[in-house]
Structure 1
Amino acid sequence: MGKHSAGLLEKVLLRRTRAFWSRAARQAATVDLSVLRQQRTEARILRHKLDELTYHADNRLALPRIGSTSFPKPAGTDWSWRPQLWRGALPFKGLSAVESKTRLGDEATIFHDCQISELSLRQLRNTREADLAPYGLRMDVFRFDGSFLSLVLDLPQSATDGLLKRHLVRMEAIVEVEKPLEIFARLNVRHGPNTEQIVRELPLYDDKVMVEFDLAYTKLNEKRVEAIWVDLIFEGPEMNQVTLRDVTFSRNPRAEL
């Protein structure tokens, strides 16, 4: 009963508050200036609180939900993963003049060899219904005096567990570019003293792109797999904007021949 009464009282107070500010807005052109000055101060304080509420509400209620690891996977998938960069908020929203070896969370690192960095990065909140990842990454490149630019993603230890030569490793991404450029994905698998590498070019004729790395064509020592990482290599990125709305990985055994 107490909770019901409190809720009813809040609704009454809210209606009266809305009525007060609606009346104040209508009378703003003719009310005494001393009253108007006081109302303006109160309105600014109220607006700040409302903007704060709206910001947090939009962030929590927007689709998709923060921390989401959901995405379509091929039949037979035995491992899947979305990097932290696309599923949770970073400690910072954006960076400018990004230096080489800058870490973006625990799993992603930027590498380049520019003398003067004119690279900026910004994490975006995905709000489109088509987006499954909570966040995206936007990269703006202005003058580029280096020879390479890459984003390295360290796959978790779970990606190495049970990894076999008969596995296909799939990478899917949603990519937006301001103007055409080439993006390559290089899968690296370290086993003992050796590292196997497979390179695929991302087909950017569609927003959603997919590449597969077939480990059957490598000399992988299944008993000595230690680490896996992927380099996203951007060729000729100068004066371009690249947005990675989502990046996901999955693994499934290839069909026996």
Structure 2
Amino acid sequence: MSAGLGQGWMDRAVFLAGLRRWSRAARTADRMDLSTLREARSRARRLRTHLDRLIHVAEERLALPPIGNQAFPRPVDADWAWRPELWCGPLPVPGLSSVPTQSKLGGEVALFHDCAHSELTLRQIRNTREADLAAYGLRLDVFRFDGSYLSLAIDLPEEAALGLRRQHLVRIDAIVEMEKPLEIFARLNIKHGPNTEQIVRELSLNTEEIHVEFDLAYTKLNEKRVEKIWLDLIFEGPEMNQVVLRDVTFSRRKRAAL
């Protein structure tokens, strides 16, 4: 939507005419009589107020990662890649407090715990750093924690299961920030028929940008019966901590033939 800034030839002609008029006024300001100069200054100040506001908002918005962005580095031989909706665009409900177990934020992310009294909050936040590719991030705040487990489950779409083979490597990339160190484990779950394969990897949190790969060759996956895939991020000792997941992406590729 143009919001009053037309793109037609007449709008461009009006803009250029106004630009020439103000350029001429600036060039001749030192020769104007004082009454004309006073009126020109008043008009220029009124115009500058709106221009400064437009420039400020434009620079802020254009500096942010674009909403809906699915661009991110991925293996060149990947046959599937995906960023969940929470990290792409605004959710209808951006946050939850005193989060009960199994609560969902959006259609793909849910929080699980066994706390008697939940002092947990989940909130979608807007990424603003120049380095961020994801438009949004997820912030998890944990205050008093009286439970024995805390995990964040991310459901993968049906496309992730289509054509899945034991020759595949499934990769997760994430950007993680935290107030103080804690252990995070990633568990990939693949339901096939009555069985569920589970592969657990500990995330190396020496840097913000981390990745982990799950090799399906070591599973007993029934390739013909894959129904559902989801990832659990398991937080150990989360009390009095804040964890921000700036980005989470998934991809898969086939292992090179031996």
TM-score range, shorter-chain basis? Answer: 0.7 to 0.9
Q: 1:7 aligns with which of 15, 32, 38?
A: 15
RMSD between aligned residues: 2.5
Unpaired runs of 5+ residues, structure 1, are: 23-42
Matched ranges for 1:103-252 at <5 A: 103-252=104-253
> Structure 1 residues 153 and 241 mapped into 2: Cα distance closer, same or farther (>3 Å)?
same
Q: 1:128: how far off?
A: 1.5
Q: Which amino acid aligns with 2:220?
A: K
Alignment check: 8 A CA contact 2:134 2:246 kept: yes
Counterpart Cα distance in 1 of 2:152 and 2:95: 16
Counterpart Cα distance in 2 of 1:102 and 1:187: 20
Deviates more, 1:120-129 or 1:159-168: 120-129
Alignment check: 8 A CA contact 1:118 1:142 kept: yes
Alignment check: 8 A CA contact 1:60 1:66 kept: no
Alignment check: 8 A CA contact 2:93 2:106 kept: no
Q: Alignment partner of 2:134: what SS?
A: coil
> Structure 1 residues 211 and 15 mapped into 2: Cα distance closer, same or farther (>3 Å)?
farther
Q: 1:95: how far off?
A: 2.4
Q: 1:58: how far off?
A: 6.2
Q: 1:6: how far off?
A: 4.0
Counterpart Cα distance in 1 of 2:250 and 2:240: 29
Q: 1:124: how far off?
A: 1.6
> Structure 1 residues 58 and 188 mapped into 2: Cα distance closer, same or farther (>3 Å)?
farther
Runs of 4+ in 1 over 6 A off after TM superposition: 9-15
Corresponding position of 2:5: none
> Structure 1 residues 95 and 225 mapped into 2: Cα distance closer, same or farther (>3 Å)?
same
> Normalising to structure 1: TM-score of the pair?
0.81
> Structure 1 residues 20 and 164 mapped into 2: Cα distance closer, same or farther (>3 Å)?
closer
Matched ranges for 1:39-50 at <5 A: none
Unpaired runs of 5+ residues, structure 2, are: 1-8, 23-39
Counterpart Cα distance in 1 of 2:197 and 2:242: 31
> Structure 1 residues 119 and 59 mapped into 2: Cα distance closer, same or farther (>3 Å)?
farther
Aligned residues: 230
Alignment check: 8 A CA contact 2:94 2:105 kept: no
Corresponding position of 1:73: 74
> Structure 1 residues 10 and 196 mapped into 2: Cα distance closer, same or farther (>3 Å)?
farther
